[in-house]
Chains A and B, each alone.
Chain A
């Protein structure tokens, strides 16, 4: 047994091997494996892996510099979209959002978000997924409304991302949701009300269930 293999075996014996099947693959037929059958705790197929060499614990120096969450406050822009965790304080109305949109978004996305010089429409498409022309817009596609806030804050406008205030991001999110018929014209959105918006594609997703084919290795007279 090579030293790397031995270390892997030791790691497995100690229960340090995170994946039981990673340890199973130490057997003589390491070419065989469960493939897509290996899944995360959340049910996501992982694909067969390894075996890999494992670094001895002694070879794991500590070079990281301790930081605090406060140090990272400006970088910490993600929103966990199903429950809105990470949404900042602030609020914005549909009317304010229209002003932001017309100043900073209309050049690429077009009037009323119907599509412009560079990108396609951001309105409509609700109900189109059962047809042969699925129209993907924030209204038709996003399962959770905070996705809009997260994406606009991290990536828009394309020429000056991360330049909008939180109030502007709430407002332009409210405006786009209104154009999609999902909030009324007088809506004012904040961390609480944005999460409460019901999105039509809320139940439109399924977890990866591949492999979903069963091709056979026919060699002669196959068709």
Chain B
């Protein structure tokens, strides 16, 4: 058995060792598939196959019992579905580093918790929820402190939102550097967040007149902090303690974090310790020297929080290959930090002609959204790309469009350009960003 069982269309990218390991079973799988297909046709014609299909070994002995850990893990055959650190920008340490979500293996809009991307500025703290406290102070009528026990007693909200790092795609602007969609777009995950609205807690503390910005600070070794406009905080900010049906994972902010739907990931401060209300932004390192965008004439765009409308084809994507001409369902994700996905168009000829894809529900505000479109590959070279349109009518730009207004120099954030994938006669898919 091989990964083709769940990814029957596109052979996934694999290391040479993995390919070696996978080959015999893949061949036998293909043989079996051919036999089944042939057998079906023969059966219709009234003829019998040479030898009947074998009884599967799993049908002839009991499976394993309930494991002692009592917390389930994916099948061992799915071990290749894992986060990976960047293979393009290699950090010399892994405390201020990131790991990326394997989007090419994610069928729905929810990223399993063990695959949600990570970005830390000084490692993952281990925080005891029994002693952790969150404070609200500054321009409030009554400074307050909350235990975790307090926070989970409040009326809660649960909302689906995408979560994306502002640096997603920063290695791939004008020329391809990364191979797979995990490396080009994997600082992206889809999560059902549960928590208490920040407005509930701030209303309890009571905002003083003139309150305009709020500082959120983490209890990690970076004490990562960001200044956030009060309008966003009071609109839809969540003080979240759970994700995808369980408490936060340590690497995603356990026991409590901020979630700012649709905004760049680092503003959703993890391991939340302190909320301070003020009348101006703080202009910290994290919002001046970092997380700002280079602009023409040596300038920097600051407080660029919203993640703009974007999409990417995940199947087929870089490093995969199409085994033979014929029908393929092309699928991917679209998302907008400023509303819902209205439409996604797909081009098979490098952007000359486009067809509207099917947008699969549920279509939710600031959430990953699935699109799909059928395609008959004729075996000739093709360039596939997707283009999202959001509920404001905003159309996803190309990198060439973005280059007209921004300076693409160094580590450039906020890349929402169209991602092209080229397919050659052999069916091999590769990243051609900036070339098509």
The minimal Cβ–Cβ distance linking A110 to chain B, given in whole angstroms, is 12
A14 beta carbon closer than 8 Å to chain B: no
Is the pair B401, A155 in contact by a Cβ cutoff of 8 Å?
A: no
A143 CA to B225 CA, complexed, in Å:
17
Tell me whether A103 is interfacial, beta carbon within 8 Å.
Answer: no
Residues of the B chain whose Cβ atoms lie less than 8 Å from the Cβ of A142: 285, 288-289
Cβ distance A184 to chain B, nearest Cβ, rounded Å: 24
A37 CA / B396 CA spacing, docked (Å): 17
Q: Is the CB of A63 within 8 A of B153?
A: yes
B248: CB under 8 A from chain A? no
A1: Cβ under 8 A from any B Cβ: no
Query: Chain A nearest CB: distance from B432 CB in Å?
Result: 15
Q: Is A46 touching B306 in the complex (CB atoms < 8 A)?
A: yes
Pick out which of these stretches binds chain B: A74-82, A89-97, A171-179, A188-196.
A74-82
Give bound CA distance, A39 to B424, whole Å. 46
A46-B306, A49-B235, A50-B235 as given contacts; A219 in contact with B351, CB under 8 Å: no
- Contact status of A64 and B282, CB under 8 A, knowing A50-B365, A155-B221, A204-B299: no
> Which chain B residues in 138-156 approach chain A with CB under 8 Å?
142-147, 150-151, 153-155
Asked if B305 CB lies within 8 Å of chain A CBs, one says yes
B234 CB within 8 Å of chain A: yes
* A55:B351 contact, CB within 8 angstroms: no
Q: How far is the CB of A117 from chain B (nearest CB, A)?
A: 7
Q: How many residues of B contact A (CB 8 A)?
A: 104
Please give me the residue from chain A that is nearest to B339 by CB atom: A48
**CB proximity of B434 to chain A, nearest CB, Å:** 15
Tell me the chain B residues, 221-239 only, with Cβ under 8 Å from chain A: 221-223, 225, 229-232, 234-236
Task: State A100–B294 Cα separation when bound (angstroms).
Answer: 33
Task: Determine whether the beta carbon of B395 is less than 8 Å from that of A64.
Answer: no
Q: How far is the CA of A9 from the CA of B295 in the complex (A)?
A: 41
B362 interface contact, C-beta 8 A: no
- Set of chain B residues within 8 Å of A161, measured between Cβ atoms: 122, 221-223
By DSSP majority rule, is chain A's interface helix, strand, loop, or mixed?
Answer: loop
Residue from A78, A210, A215, A220 in contact with B282 in the complex, judged by beta carbons closer than 8 Å? A78
Q: A169: CB under 8 A from chain B?
A: no
What residues of chain B lie closer than 8 Å to A72, measured between beta carbons?
135, 137, 143, 274
Contact assessment for B394 and A151 in the assembled complex, using a CB-CB cutoff below 8 Å: no
Residue of A18, A34, A201, A215 touching B397 (CB-CB under 8 A): A215
Question: Bound complex: CA of A218 vs CA of B232, how far in Å?
Answer: 34
User: Inside 8 A of A50's CB, which chain B residues have their CB?
Assistant: 235-236, 365
Whether a CB of chain A sits under 8 angstroms from the CB of B84 is no
A143 CB → nearest B CB, Å: 6
| B150 and A42 form a contact (CB under 8 A) | no
Q: B299 contacts A205, CB within 8 Å?
A: yes
Closest chain A residue to B304 by CB distance?
A208
- A78 vs B213: C-alpha distance when bound (angstroms): 14
- Tell whether, in the assembled complex, residue A158 and residue B95 are in contact, meaning their CB atoms are under 8 Å apart: yes
- A44 interface hit (Cβ, 8 Å): yes
CB contact between B283 and one of A32, A36, A82, A117 (< 8 Å): that residue: A82
- Stretch binding the partner chain, chosen from B74-82, B99-107, B199-207: B199-207
Q: Indicate if the CB atoms of B122 and A155 lie closer than 8 Å.
A: yes
Taking CB atoms, residues of chain A closer than 8 Å to B391 are 31-33, 35, 48
Q: If the complex has contacts A138-B289, A223-B350, are A64 and B232 also in contact, measured as CB distance less than 8 A?
A: no
Which of B154, B223, B299, B351 interacts with A162 by CB under 8 Å?
A: B223
Give the interface of A toward B (CB within 8 A): 18-19, 22, 31-36, 40-42, 44-50, 52-53, 55, 59-69, 71-72, 75-82, 117-118, 129-130, 132-134, 136, 138, 141-144, 147, 150-151, 154-155, 158, 161-162, 201, 204-223
Knowing that A35-B391, A53-B157, A208-B302 touch, tell me 7 more A-B residue pairs with CB under 8 angstroms.
A31-B339, A42-B213, A59-B155, A63-B154, A65-B145, A154-B222, A158-B122
B residues with CB within 8 A of A? 92-93, 95, 121-122, 135-137, 142-147, 150-151, 153-155, 157, 197, 200-201, 203-205, 212-213, 215, 217, 221-223, 225, 229-232, 234-236, 261-263, 273-274, 276, 278, 280-285, 288-289, 292, 294-295, 297-306, 308, 337-340, 342-343, 345, 350-356, 365-366, 387, 389-398, 401-402, 404-406, 409-410
The 5 A-B pairs of least Cβ separation, nearest first, read A35-B392, A64-B144, A129-B298, A40-B229, A47-B338
Chain A to chain B contacts (Cβ below 8 Å), 30 pairs: A18-B231, A36-B338, A49-B235, A55-B200, A63-B204, A64-B205, A69-B143, A71-B143, A75-B274, A77-B223, A78-B217, A80-B278, A82-B283, A129-B299, A134-B294, A142-B285, A147-B285, A151-B285, A155-B222, A161-B122, A161-B223, A204-B299, A204-B300, A207-B302, A208-B302, A208-B304, A212-B405, A213-B405, A215-B398, A222-B353
